A and B are shown apart, each in its own frame.
Chain A
Amino acid sequence: MDQTLLTGNVAAAWGARLAAVDYIPAFPITPQTEIIETLGAWVDTGEMPGRMVTLESEHSMLTAAGAAAATGVRVFSATSSQGLLHAMEMLYTVSGWRAPFVLVNVSRGLSAPITLEADHNDILAARDSGFLQIHCADCQEVLDGVLLAYRLAEDPGVRLPVLVNLDGFYLSFTREPVSLPDPAAVARFLPPFDPGNIRFAASAPESQAVAVLGGSPYSYFRYETHLAAQNALAVYDRVAGEFESLFGRQRQAVEAYRTGDADIVFYMMGSFATKAREAVDRLREAGQKVGLLRPRLLRPFPTDAIAAALDGVQGVAVIDQNLSMGQGGVLHTELAASLYGRPGAPAILTSFIGGLGGREITPEEFYQMVAVTREAVTAGKAPPPRLLYTEAELREIRKLQAVAQVEREETTPLRWSEDSNQGGAGHE
């Protein structure tokens, strides 16, 4: 297996190519665009069979993706931040159709203010949509994640769309060595899509996505979707096992790094977890028993695997690269909910908000988070959530604000001050 230098975006495109997808509805958005450009070029030159269509919005793109999957072809699509939110109505809709396909999201902070760099509020807004979610920490995982996602989506016991998430810039535009699996081996792992009864055909009339009257049938179908998502836990474990035996890479639902004897553990997801891994190594060198726990699978939520890995751990530093306004970090809330009342669960979960809009998390901050968590363990009480933000950053913001103030004063016509004798700026 050759290693090639690929960006996360191109790795995602390779995932789709190796999965031999039939149909790619697309729409451009930074930092995802390279995925559809790469696929478009392959389709144009005939290097890759399949059909690609650029829609006029992500809402339409998701509708077309779901409709094509519901007709029985293998579908791939990709988006990011504003695009994912623009399509939100259809995320919920097509998962309710039980249309299996794969959507890659390249995480990017949400507007407002508008920005390009990564955080996870976009993907977490889709948390309850019925899409399953696989989160990647490096470019190899992106490619592997796409292949795993198809097996998961198309499993007859699941039949749900799957989101594969990678962080904008940190993965999307970063080249890393990626090994491209042999297409024949991929074909063994992922045979052609067998749509079964998922289809529209003249000889087999079908009504899909029909209305229901009343809460009882509605509850029934919604809960069915929930059960299907829960089935995906066991299916994922099985599929990840097959993947490992074919390709030699471990892709468990939860990555546990040096957690075995750890008393303090970082809990976070996405590419910034590789920074936490570095910090764990440094802290271990300094004699501290620290580890990292990173869910790859966020939906379905691998509660048991997480609880098992944290059994006996004293404190968990939860790092949320997202912010639920008025509540705090989403991962922190979910972890607390899933551990509550479990014997052996860590007594202390500290909450840190960091990496919003791609803001760096430094090694010193990782060390600090461990120190804060240790203190909390000793005190028996977790401090309030904190934002990772330095005094130096605050000074920089104050400077920008001062500049903004000066700009406003110098460029605004003094219309409202009637007794102004400064001359009529804008009146001459």
Chain B
Amino acid sequence: MSDARIKRMKDLPSTHLLGTGTPMCSGCGGLEALHEIYDVLGEKTVFVNAAGCMTLLSVYPFTPFRGSWLYTAMASAPAGAQGVRDALDILLEQGRIPPEDDLEVVVLTGDGSAYGMGMSATSGAMDRNLDFIYLCYDNEGYGNTGQQYSSATPHGAATSTSRGSRGYPGYKKDLFAVWAAHAPAYVATVIGSEPLDLARKIEKAKEIRGPRMIIALSPCPTGWDYDPKLSVEIGKLAVSTGVWPLKEYIDGKVTHTRLPHDRPPVEEYLKLQGRFAHLFEPARDEELLADIQARVDRYWENVTPA
């Protein structure tokens, strides 16, 4: 691995590539992460998209991307990436396009695709050691259809299909572990509110070949029910409370890129979001709060400082 060029905040790209005026909600944490990622990846990219909020980034005849875009379907964006990558390789091999015309193939999907419907296509792409980047913006639900719960929804969260007093009964699937079990070239978690950590990981991913898998926790004011101006604060709390561990997998090893010390209680994160309001009103649900806290604590007990 070459030396990282991005070491400090001031090393972050100062030109921004993604156009403005998209139909995403204000304060969209997914769009925030995409902005930052695109700046590092650059415009020699083709985004292969699955159905979700981000599908509406490119609505005829406009696109905020300076590079290319292909919308596929909800289940099979990684297979679309396979077709594009293979075709580019064939064209390069046959000398039908010059090397400068090559593109980085980037899958862009939500959690609904990544954790669920698109999982077998993703698994297959990793099995085939496809040279691509997968970017999952994880807003913890089927956002585009009105935030029903997905298998990325955290325990206890209210969604439009889990409105009861205990919220979503399941637990968020550990996609990082599922992906890492495939032993791809790279897996990392990121969040837009930690732009330096994010940029360093994307920079690293850019320099590796093979499947490079990124999950960006994406605070979603619309689906999580909070004031859009809180997106960065909620993102920072997701990291500092330990709810969203920042880590990477490379060469068989998982490393935490941030070890939160003196983690504030998880409820600091939860109480800013309407989807967890039932944990505090009309009365505190001590049992559920303790359960959520205990799971986060248990996670960090098993993390050995690097």
**Proximity bits, B65-79, A CB within 8 Å = 1, else 0:** 111111111011111
Q: How many angstroms between the C-alpha atoms of A63 and B182 in the bound complex?
A: 22
Residues of A within 8 A of B100 (CB): 202-203
Could you count the A-B residue pairs with CB atoms below 8 Å apart for me: how many are there? Answer: 153
Q: A333 interface residue, CB < 8 Å from B?
A: no
- If A200-B68, A200-B70 touch, whether A210 touches B80 (CB-CB below 8 Å) is no
Do A208 and B102 touch across chains, with their CB atoms under 8 A apart? no
Residues of B within 8 A of A90 (CB): 73, 76
- If A202-B101, A213-B59 touch, whether A72 touches B87 (CB-CB below 8 Å) is yes
Q: How many angstroms between the C-alpha atoms of A201 and B105 in the bound complex?
A: 11
**Stretch of A54-62, A110-118, A157-165, A258-266 that contacts chain B:** A54-62
Residues of A within 8 A of B78 (CB): 60
Do B70 and A59 touch across chains, with their CB atoms under 8 A apart? no
Do A202 and B87 touch across chains, with their CB atoms under 8 A apart? no
Q: How many residues of A contact B (CB 8 A)?
A: 42
Do B97 and A63 touch across chains, with their CB atoms under 8 A apart? no
Q: How many angstroms between the C-alpha atoms of A408 and B2 in the bound complex?
A: 70
Residues of A within 8 A of B79 (CB): 55, 59-61, 63-64, 67
Residues of B within 8 A of A212 (CB): 59-60
Q: How many angstroms between the C-alpha atoms of A206 and B46 in the bound complex?
A: 9
Do A200 and B71 touch across chains, with their CB atoms under 8 A apart? no
Chain A's closest residue to B128 (CB) is: A53
Tell me if A's interface is mostly helix, strand, loop or mixed.
Answer: mixed
Q: How many angstroms between the C-alpha atoms of A205 and B63 in the bound complex?
A: 11
Chain B's closest residue to A212 (CB) is: B60
Do A202 and B80 touch across chains, with their CB atoms under 8 A apart? no
Do B60 and A210 touch across chains, with their CB atoms under 8 A apart? yes
Do A56 and B86 touch across chains, with their CB atoms under 8 A apart? no
A43 to chain B, nearest CB (A): 12
Q: B277 interface residue, CB < 8 Å from A?
A: no
Q: How many angstroms between the C-alpha atoms of A201 and B78 in the bound complex?
A: 19
Do A68 and B73 touch across chains, with their CB atoms under 8 A apart? no
Residues of A within 8 A of B169 (CB): none
Do A60 and B86 touch across chains, with their CB atoms under 8 A apart? no
Do A63 and B68 touch across chains, with their CB atoms under 8 A apart? no
Q: B257 interface residue, CB < 8 Å from A?
A: no
Q: B127 interface residue, CB < 8 Å from A?
A: yes
Q: How many angstroms between the C-alpha atoms of A53 and B56 in the bound complex?
A: 31
Residues of B within 8 A of A75 (CB): 83
Chain B's closest residue to A209 (CB) is: B71
Do A210 and B71 touch across chains, with their CB atoms under 8 A apart? yes
Do A68 and B124 touch across chains, with their CB atoms under 8 A apart? no
**Proximity bits, B111-130, A CB within 8 Å = 1, else 0:** 00000000011011001100
Do B91 and A73 touch across chains, with their CB atoms under 8 A apart? yes
Do A201 and B103 touch across chains, with their CB atoms under 8 A apart? yes
Do A201 and B101 touch across chains, with their CB atoms under 8 A apart? yes
Do B83 and A208 touch across chains, with their CB atoms under 8 A apart? no
Residues of B within 8 A of A55 (CB): 79, 82, 124
Q: How many angstroms between the C-alpha atoms of A11 and B3 in the bound complex?
A: 55
Which of A25, A59, A206 is within 8 Å of B83, CB to CB?
Answer: A25
Which of A53, A71, A73, A205 is within 8 Å of B65, CB to CB?
Answer: A205
Do A208 and B70 touch across chains, with their CB atoms under 8 A apart? yes
Residues of A within 8 A of B37 (CB): none
Do A68 and B84 touch across chains, with their CB atoms under 8 A apart? yes
Do B87 and A71 touch across chains, with their CB atoms under 8 A apart? yes
A128 to chain B, nearest CB (A): 18
Residues of B within 8 A of A23 (CB): 83, 86-87, 90
Within 8 A of A (CB), among B15-40: none
Which of A51, A57, A200 is within 8 Å of B84, CB to CB?
Answer: A200
Chain A's closest residue to B88 (CB) is: A71
Which of A59, A68, A72, A213 is within 8 Å of B76, CB to CB?
Answer: A59
- If A51-B90, A202-B101, A210-B60 touch, whether A71 touches B84 (CB-CB below 8 Å) is yes
A221 to chain B, nearest CB (A): 8
Q: B133 interface residue, CB < 8 Å from A?
A: no
Most A CB within 10 A of own CB, among B59, B83, B91, B96: B83
Residues of A within 8 A of B155 (CB): none
Chain B's closest residue to A56 (CB) is: B124
Within 8 A of B (CB), among A203-223: 203-213, 217
Do B59 and A67 touch across chains, with their CB atoms under 8 A apart? no
Which of A56, A65, A211 is within 8 Å of B71, CB to CB?
Answer: A211
Residues of A within 8 A of B198 (CB): none
Residues of A within 8 A of B124 (CB): 55-57, 60
Q: Can you list 22 A-B pairs with a CB-CB distance of less than 8 A?
A: A53-B82, A55-B124, A57-B124, A63-B79, A63-B121, A64-B80, A67-B72, A68-B86, A68-B87, A69-B83, A200-B46, A202-B43, A202-B67, A202-B102, A202-B103, A205-B68, A206-B68, A208-B69, A208-B70, A209-B72, A210-B60, A211-B58
Give chain A's interface residues, CB within 8 Å of chain B.
22-23, 25, 51, 53, 55-57, 59-61, 63-73, 75, 89-90, 93, 199-213, 217
Q: For the A-B complex with A70-B84, A207-B70 known, give 11 more contacts whose Cβ atoms are closer than 8 Å.
A: A25-B82, A57-B121, A57-B124, A60-B79, A64-B80, A66-B83, A67-B48, A211-B55, A211-B58, A212-B59, A217-B60
